[in-house]
């Protein structure tokens, strides 16, 4: 029974070893990522570290020449028996711009025999591709902060580690080439003169740089060109400006407040400008130390307590941007008697519209800020829609058989601002398009100097012809009298 158990364990272990596959990992120096494709500049050898993702008693690598058309260009070093890591090297190759070289490597894993398991050998293959690149400028585009006196840009190529070539740079074009300069003695240094972001609209500058490589024996010369872009970035170096209160009761340049308002009354909204940032995405913070007013919901200026005494109240508002740069501004609120403050009113007039024509009416009040409109239930409510301040009356036929006010469509509009509410009935009158519009355009009557309706063009023309005949008769009469002495 014991022998049977050991045999079963032996078979299970053997089965597990046989089913656990492995793969080859190929990595560059200082990299933890395995990949199949590598690159190297021409003239520079490429070294790749080979490993397996599974441990074993013995790991060995070999190049498979039959399946590797470029195997002669690769060398393999390492010794699994002596635990020397394996490296695969593509020899330095010149004059082979962007040409890929392929090699197949095979790893052999050997698990030595134990009391419970026999020796077990498994293999894995991997095709590795190395592309030899031609001369290439590797300097990336640059972002620099505004107002720096000079920005130093180091020019580099993929041949910088090749001791057998000399590389020199030159500026050969670009829309902004005059903004750049390459030092004559340190040819890999390019200077860019930075600008003030707020002072100029232009934010990006481009220059075309050419690299010329020459072998040390000066027998081979190669060139490559790249456009490098410098982006001047904005610094948060300016505090917000232009603090304002947008209020409805603005008199003689001062914000006024009725002396009967309770705590929490909305006086107006605060705004400011940040020269450095977009205030829609970088919120400004408003604060005040006033005992009479407070700022809520970010920028709403409201009363902090009931204010009844008539007179001026001074206070200061501070605005800060997201980097804590701040600006102060002093304001005066004029507290006046409530009789001097106009109540909330809807000032949109009644309108008329031709039949079968949609009409958009802009709702207005005597208060500029913080007013919202709504439609109150009415008989003709279904003919109106409201979006913000745009009241739309749907196209409607003229009711020819109706009488009285059958072509008038009233709707009650409610305006609300804080604790104020007012309603007004607006009436839309549908006009028959075949009837002359009493408010239509007029033209001058040349006979009387008055005006007539543009629709009465026939009457006007007849008046002009009649006046022309009379004028002709009068002229002939005067000429005849003159000739006869």
Q: Which pLDDT tens digit goes with each residue over 73-97?
A: 999 999 887 888 999 999 988 765 6
Both tokens of residue 10?
């032996």
- The whole-angstrom separation of Cα 18 and Cα 406 is 94
Both tokens of residue 83?
């635990």
* Whether pLDDT at 61 is above 90: yes
For residue 233, CA distances in Å to 120, 190, 279 come to 63, 19, 17
Q: Alpha helix (H) ranges present in 357-456?
A: none
354: which strand partners? 431
Better-predicted residue by pLDDT, 414 or 447: 414
Digit-coded pLDDT (tens) for 244-300 = 888 766 666 688 888 988 999 988 899 998 876 655 545 789 999 999 999 999 999
* Whether pLDDT at 235 is above 90: no
* Whether pLDDT at 25 is above 70: yes
Q: Which whole number is the average pLDDT over 339-365?
A: 90
The answer to which of 25-39, 61-75, 274-288, 394-408 has the lowest mean pLDDT is: 274-288
* Whether pLDDT at 63 is above 90: yes
The answer to which of 170-174, 319-323, 346-350 has the lowest mean pLDDT is: 319-323
The sign of the torsion formed by the CA atoms of 270, 275, 281, 283 equals: negative
Instruction: Provide the pLDDT for residue 340.
Output: 81
The sign of the torsion formed by the CA atoms of 93, 97, 98, 100 equals: negative
Percent of the chain with pLDDT over 90: 41
Instruction: Provide the pLDDT for residue 194.
Output: 66
Instruction: Provide the pLDDT for residue 277.
Output: 62
34 pLDDT band, cuts 50/70/90, is very high
- The whole-angstrom separation of Cα 196 and Cα 201 is 9
* Whether pLDDT at 395 is above 70: yes
* Whether pLDDT at 445 is above 80: no
Q: Which whole number is the average pLDDT over 287-316?
A: 93
Q: Which whole number is the average pLDDT over 433-449?
A: 50
- The whole-angstrom separation of Cα 277 and Cα 236 is 7
Q: Are 208 and 200 in contact (CB under 8 A)?
A: no
Instruction: Provide the pLDDT for residue 105.
Output: 94
Better-predicted residue by pLDDT, 419 or 73: 73
Instruction: Provide the pLDDT for residue 80.
Output: 84
Q: Are 189 and 180 in contact (CB under 8 A)?
A: no
Percent of the chain with pLDDT over 70: 77
Q: Are 113 and 76 in contact (CB under 8 A)?
A: no
- The whole-angstrom separation of Cα 169 and Cα 190 is 9
- The whole-angstrom separation of Cα 119 and Cα 235 is 68
- The whole-angstrom separation of Cα 267 and Cα 418 is 10
444 pLDDT band, cuts 50/70/90, is very low
* Whether pLDDT at 326 is above 80: yes
Better-predicted residue by pLDDT, 296 or 112: 296
258: which strand partners? 336
Instruction: Provide the pLDDT for residue 306.
Output: 94
For residue 172, CA distances in Å to 6, 68, 194, 206, 341 come to 80, 43, 20, 12, 70
Instruction: Provide the pLDDT for residue 207.
Output: 95
The sign of the torsion formed by the CA atoms of 432, 437, 440, 444 equals: positive
Q: Are 400 and 432 in contact (CB under 8 A)?
A: yes
Instruction: Provide the pLDDT for residue 248.
Output: 63
Task: Compute the mean pLDDT over every residue in the chain, rounded to the nearest whole number.
Answer: 80
Instruction: Provide the pLDDT for residue 435.
Output: 58
Digit-coded pLDDT (tens) for 145-181 = 776 667 899 999 988 888 878 999 999 999 999 999 9
Residue by residue, DSSP assigns 448-485 as: TS-EEEGGGHHHHHHHHHHHHHHHHHHHHHHHHHHHT-
- The b-or-e profile of 233-248 (16+ CB within 10 A means b, else e) is ebeeebbbeebebbbb
Both tokens of residue 439?
């408010």
């Amino acid at each position: 029974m014991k022998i049977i158990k050991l045999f079963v364990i032996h078979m299970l272990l053997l089965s597990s070893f046989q089913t656990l596959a492995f793969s080859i990992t190929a990595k560059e120096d200082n990299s933890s990522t395995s990949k199949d494709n590598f690159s190297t500049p021409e003239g520079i050898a490429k070294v790749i570290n080979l490993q397996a993702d599974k441990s074993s008693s013995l790991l060995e690598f070999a190049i498979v020449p039959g399946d590797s058309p470029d195997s002669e260009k690769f060398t393999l070093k390492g010794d699994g028996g002596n635990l020397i890591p394996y490296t695969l090297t593509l020899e330095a190759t010149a004059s082979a711009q962007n040409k890929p070289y392929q090699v197949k490597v095979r790893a052999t894993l050997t698990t030595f025999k134990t009391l419970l398991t026999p020796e077990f050998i498994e293999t894995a293959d991997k095709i590795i591709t190395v592309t030899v690149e031609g001369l290439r400028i590797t300097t990336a585009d640059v972002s620099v902060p505004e107002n720096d006196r000079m920005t130093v840009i180091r020019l580099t190529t993929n041949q910088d580690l090749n001791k057998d070539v000399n590389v020199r740079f030159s500026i050969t074009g670009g829309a902004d080439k005059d903004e750049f300069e390459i030092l004559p003695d340190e040819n890999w240094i390019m200077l860019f003169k930075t600008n003030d972001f707020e002072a100029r609209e232009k934010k990006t500058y481009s220059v075309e740089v050419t690299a010329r490589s020459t072998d040390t024996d000066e027998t081979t010369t190669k060139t490559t060109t790249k456009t490098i872009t410098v982006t001047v970035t904005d610094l948060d170096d300016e505090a917000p400006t232009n603090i304002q209160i947008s209020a409805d009761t603005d008199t003689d340049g001062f914000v006024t407040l009725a002396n009967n308002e309770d705590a929490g009354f909305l006086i107006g909204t605060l705004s400011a400008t940040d020269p450095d940032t977009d205030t829609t995405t970088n919120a400004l913070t408003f604060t005040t130390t006033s005992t009479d007013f407070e700022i809520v919901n970010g920028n709403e200026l409201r009363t902090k307590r009931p204010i009844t005494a008539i007179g001026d109240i001074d206070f200061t508002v501070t605005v800060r941007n997201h980097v804590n740069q701040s600006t102060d501004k002093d304001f005066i609120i004029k507290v006046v008697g409530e009789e001097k403050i106009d109540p909330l009113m809807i000032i949109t007039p009644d309108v008329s519209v031709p039949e079968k024509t949609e009409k958009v009416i802009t709702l207005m009040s005597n208060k500029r800020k913080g007013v919202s409109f709504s439609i109150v239930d009415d008989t003709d409510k279904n003919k109106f829609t409201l979006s913000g301040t745009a009241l739309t009356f749907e196209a409607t036929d003229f009711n020819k058989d109706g009488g009285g006010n059958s072509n008038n469509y009233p709707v009650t509009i409610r305006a609300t601002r804080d604790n104020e509410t007012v309603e007004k009935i607006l009436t839309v009158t549908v006009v028959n398009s075949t009837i002359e519009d009493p408010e239509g355009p007029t033209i001058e009557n040349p006979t009387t100097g008055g005006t007539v309706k543009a629709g009465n063009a026939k009457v006007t023309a007849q008046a002009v012809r009649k006046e022309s005949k009379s004028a002709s008769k009068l002229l002939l009469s005067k000429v005849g009298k003159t000739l006869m002495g």
